[in-house]
Amino acid sequence: MRHVPATVIVGAQWGDEGKGKIVDLLAQDSDLVCRYQGGPNAGHTIVVDGETYKIRQIPSGIVAGKASAIGAGCVVDPRVVIEELDDLESRGHVTAGLVFVSGNAHLIMPWHVALDGARERKLGNLQIGTTRRGIGPAYADKATRIGIRVQDLLDPKILRQKIELAITEKNVWLERVYDIEPFDLEDVARTYEGYAQRLRPYVADTSLLVDRALRAGESVLFEGAQGTLLDLDHGTYPFVTSSSPIAAGAAVSFGIGPNRIDEVLGVSKAYVTRVGEGPFPSEIEGEAQERVRGLGGEFGTVTGRERRCGWLDLPALRFAVRVNGITSLALTKLDVLSTFAEIPVCVRYALPDGSETDDFPAHQSDFHHCRPVWETLPGWQTELAGDGLPDAARGYVRFVEEALGVPVTLVGTGQGREAVLALR
């Protein structure tokens, strides 16, 4: 049996690292592509043959015509999945027999979306900056054991019972706490039964699917959404997502042992961005931030929100290497830095007590109040072509490798699928 690795592709920063393009590239040589956490709150933008795909829920391997599975650790908005299936099919892609949705994944219901927006509004200045897509409330219901799962779509009677049970409680919250119109049971039941009819053929046992693929020596690619610093347990809480984007989340979501994962490819921009609130030590000051944002097109795939931009942060990347077990790194958007004569990199943090640290602080207050310690590298001030890197750009990549003790195997040099240099 030929050994083909199971590979996890994980965001090594705050999400938006360009994972979609890397997944799309590696999907060409994979048999099965698996999305292991999150919901339609994160988008992957893929440009193939001049066509742009913005995919939020179905794994991006589907664009490469690969079998694509959504794991139990995801939350699924059936309306979004159906829209994506329709869009893909209208562009000539086959989805039947290629898209698989775990029956154990949880459904995003309309009250989740309503509650998400209402809570953020009520928090005012203290808001987390969620995408208001109902993700957090859906995961909360999963944890309190009152969630509705994808497999409930298979039985109209069970589906209606579960909607009836949930809607009574949610309407009380919506009306009395948030002063929002309640949902009508018949409307919701009718809508979701319509979704059910479209989605039933796609419901599958994704744990068994992955296990069989690995036993058959097939190549399996796991993709997360968001990034390491947004992990519910290990990220910059409370400014985090409501699931586990770190690599170990792939094993949990698909019900396989962690020893089945062979490679962990971290994806990091050559700089760093953050959406929403929360501390951001290496944030760029002045007009250079606007310049990076403009050159990098740093606006959210799903929300259109402006992303905050910073210079590369090595203590945060070192943390990502540790918590994910990253074995190699893809450095994306190196071309965005091509116009700068000098490029600062945050190499350590200065803590409030006057000490300096190479490591990501375990205590939130330290992270909130730390300041970056910079090292400035020479820029290359020339366009990156497909045939190799200028010396200064190669020096930048080597500097990152040496600081992390991890090889950089891929470098992104532009927007299209082909604009990636394999360094090894």
Q: How far from 375 is each of 233, 271, 313, CA to CA, in Å?
A: 31, 14, 11
Cα 38 to chain centroid, rounded: 7
Report percent pLDDT > 90 for the chain.
73
Asked if residue 291 has pLDDT above 70, the reply is yes
Q: Confidence class of residue 127 from pLDDT cuts 50, 70 and 90?
A: low
Phi, psi of 283 (to 5 degrees): -55, 135
| Nearest-angstrom CA–CA distance, 278 and 240 | 9
Q: Confidence class of residue 130 from pLDDT cuts 50, 70 and 90?
A: low
Asked if residue 333 has pLDDT above 50, the reply is yes
Asked if residue 335 has pLDDT above 70, the reply is yes
Decide if 310 is inside a domain: yes
Q: Is 133 in the same domain as 71? A: no
Q: Confidence class of residue 51 from pLDDT cuts 50, 70 and 90?
A: confident
Listed in sequence order, the DSSP H helices in 332-390 are 364-369
**What's the CATH number where 74 sits?**
3.40.440.10
**What's the CATH number where 170 sits?**
1.10.300.10
Asked if residue 197 has pLDDT above 60, the reply is yes
Annotation says 44 is catalytic: yes
Q: Which residues contact 380 (CB under 8 A, 6 or more apart)?
A: 338, 389, 390, 391, 392, 393, 396
Dihedral sign, Cα of residue 286, residue 270, residue 360, residue 223: positive
pTM: 0.92
- Catalytic one among 44, 162, 170, 234? 44
| Residue stretches of the annotated binding site for Mg(2+) | 16, 43
User: Which SS3 state, helix, strand or coil, does residue 51 take?
Assistant: strand
Select from 199, 220, 243 the last residue of a domain.
199
Report pLDDT digits (tens) over 136-170: 999 999 999 999 999 999 999 999 999 999 999 99
Select from 157, 173, 199 the last residue of a domain.
199
Q: Is 142 in the same domain as 41? A: no
Average predicted confidence (pLDDT) for the chain: 91
Q: Is 237 in the same domain as 180? A: no
Select from 173, 199, 225 the last residue of a domain.
199
- Catalytic one among 66, 112, 142, 162? 142
| Residue stretches of the annotated binding site for IMP | 16-19, 41-44, 131, 145, 226, 241, 305
Q: Is 280 in the same domain as 413? A: yes
Q: How many CB atoms lie within 10 A of CB 215?
A: 10
Domain that holds residue 410: 268-422
**What's the CATH number where 397 sits?**
3.90.170.10
Whether the bond into 78 is cis, omega within 30 of 0: no
Please give the helix or strand (H or E) that residue 101 lies within, else none: strand 99-102
Name the residue with tokens 């968001």: 226
Q: Is 289 left (phi over 0), alpha (psi -120 to 50) or beta?
A: alpha
Q: What is the pLDDT of residue 390?
A: 93
Q: What is the mean pLDDT of residues 231-250?
A: 93
- Catalytic one among 16, 116, 141, 313? 16
Strand partners, 10: 266
Decide if 1 is inside a domain: no
Q: Confidence class of residue 125 from pLDDT cuts 50, 70 and 90?
A: low
Q: Is 32 in the same domain as 178? A: no
Annotation says 16 is catalytic: yes
Q: Is 295 in the same domain as 385? A: yes
Report pLDDT digits (tens) over 269-289: 999 999 877 889 999 999 999
Q: How far from 175 is each of 56, 111, 169, CA to CA, in Å?
A: 30, 11, 10
| Residue stretches of the annotated binding site for GTP | 15-21, 43-45, 307, 333-335, 412-414
Asked if residue 40 has pLDDT above 70, the reply is yes
Q: What is the pLDDT of residue 129?
A: 60
Annotation says 387 is catalytic: no
| Residue stretches of the annotated binding site | 15-21, 41-45, 131, 145, 226, 241, 301-307, 333-335, 412-414
Decide if 220 is inside a domain: yes
| Nearest-angstrom CA–CA distance, 77 and 300 | 19
Q: Is 404 in the same domain as 418? A: yes
